[in-house]
Chains A and B, each alone.
Chain A
Amino acid sequence: MLANTLDIITVLCLVLGCFLGITGGIGIYRLPDFFTRLHASSVTDSACAFLILFALMLQSGFTLVTVKLCFVLFFLILSSTTATHALAKAAIQRGFQPLLGREDKR
């Protein structure tokens, strides 16, 4: 019973994670300017990776693999958010304007 519930939650997490990943990919391709694309890629980095890793953890149980996955999750959360921050900051310093606040709405 418990194993069944775990499997169902795993499948849900994986499907949702894959959906978010594909959404992020489409977003990078379709969204109009740099900052919205950054938002799309950060969705893939954070939510999608988080869900997939969580699903893997559910499958591996209380083993060393789960501990390693926890480490991966920790580093991924910190590094991907920092990378997104650095990209946005660099873009603003270079004079990129978000499309919403801009005068000429191309």
Chain B
Amino acid sequence: METVINIVLLTFLCITALAIVQIRKLFCAIMLMGIFSLLSACLFVTMDAVDVAFTEAAVGSGISTILLLGAMTLTSIDEKRPSYQSLIAILVVVVTGAILVYGTMDIPPFGTPDAPIHRHVALRYIQQSPIEVGPPNMVTSVLASYRGYDTLGETAVIFTAGIALVALLGTYRRKTGSAPQKDKPSTLNDHLVLSIVSKMFIPLILLFGLYVQFHGDYGPGGGFQAGVIFASGIILYALIFGVDKAMRVISPSALRLLSAAGLLLFGGVGLMCIINGGNFLDYNTLAQRPIDGQHLGIFLIELGVGITVFAIMVMMFYAFSNRKGRSA
């Protein structure tokens, strides 16, 4: 049964990928990329990797679709035809793909118990993490405690990407606009049904974001997904009621502070561990009992990740929409 599901999902994945390459309309390509992410999220679920699937569904098919649509409004709807022959490109891709497929020959089959990955660190994580770290969701303890350096790196990457995007597109300045912007029809201000339903939904979305943030120790979830969900609530507000109103709710300068504060919180927890006499990101030193220290450390760094991801996502959306308003 599972094989059938896998085959169907992978077939759809291939069809979607080919369609993305083939299609010239950027809007359709973006929508297909959302479908692609959703399909890979389904594949992750069949492999029992719910945390990864959750992240893929929230980030891949949720917020990146919105951000890509925002980026698309700055360019044309159709893709330009390349002026050169793409024969060399196809050759390079085919050769690389063939090498990669050849490489998979040596990988042990999926789920083999004596594969190298199951005999090395995974065994220790499974046996020791309930005693050493504590959270029932082992993914969280691996992500936040054993692999804290990696997570710090990922958060720094998101932060850097956001800063680079804002540096490229420019920050928001309300005063320097040429004329006082009158209400454009593109803000869906007069759409009664949309505004009522979104008013109903936005508090629930924010609440769900907080749930995902603080429930990450017990089930699938954590800082990355929570930040994205929280940001999508704000972005929905901005889409329905206009970016200006959303900026009154949370201003771009506050976002800039928040994005740095989240990363600093993460790094600060690491430094605090050094001050208390341990290694960098060694949470055992944070409290009297090591396991309490682990809890506190994981809570704080997940909060830092969530704040940074949230701030960067909303900042990117503001940057795109601001650019659009200026060029129009």
Contact = CB atoms under 8 A, between A and B. Distances in A.
Nearest to A74: B204
Interface string A88-104: 01000100000000000
A78 interface: yes
Contacts of A75: 201, 204
Contacts of A89: 191
Interface string A53-93: 00000000000000000000001001100100110010001
B194 A86 contact: yes
A89 B240 CA distance: 14
Nearest to A93: B185
Contacts of A85: 193-194
A23 B185 CA distance: 36
Contacts of B200: 78
B197 interface: yes
A90 B194 CA distance: 12
Interface string B187-212: 01001011001001100100000000
Nearest to B197: A82
A86 B188 CA distance: 10
B43 to A, nearest CB: 20
B198 to A, nearest CB: 8
B201 A79 contact: yes
A78 B197 contact: yes
Contact of A78 (B185, B191, B201): B201
Contacts of B194: 82, 85-86
A87 to B, nearest CB: 11
A38 B86 CA distance: 38
A41 B188 CA distance: 23
A82 B200 CA distance: 12
Interface in B73-110: none
A24 to B, nearest CB: 16
Contacts of B197: 78-79, 82
A85 B193 CA distance: 8
Nearest to B185: A93
A93 B191 CA distance: 12
A55 B194 CA distance: 30
Nearest 5 A/B pairs, CB to CB: A82-B197, A85-B193, A86-B194, A78-B197, A82-B193
Given A75-B201, A82-B197, 15 more contacts: A75-B204, A78-B197, A78-B200, A78-B201, A79-B197, A79-B201, A82-B193, A82-B194, A85-B193, A86-B188, A86-B191, A86-B193, A86-B194, A89-B191, A93-B185
Interface of B: 185, 188, 191, 193-194, 197, 200-201, 204
8 contacts: A75-B201, A82-B197, A85-B193, A85-B194, A86-B188, A86-B191, A86-B194, A89-B191
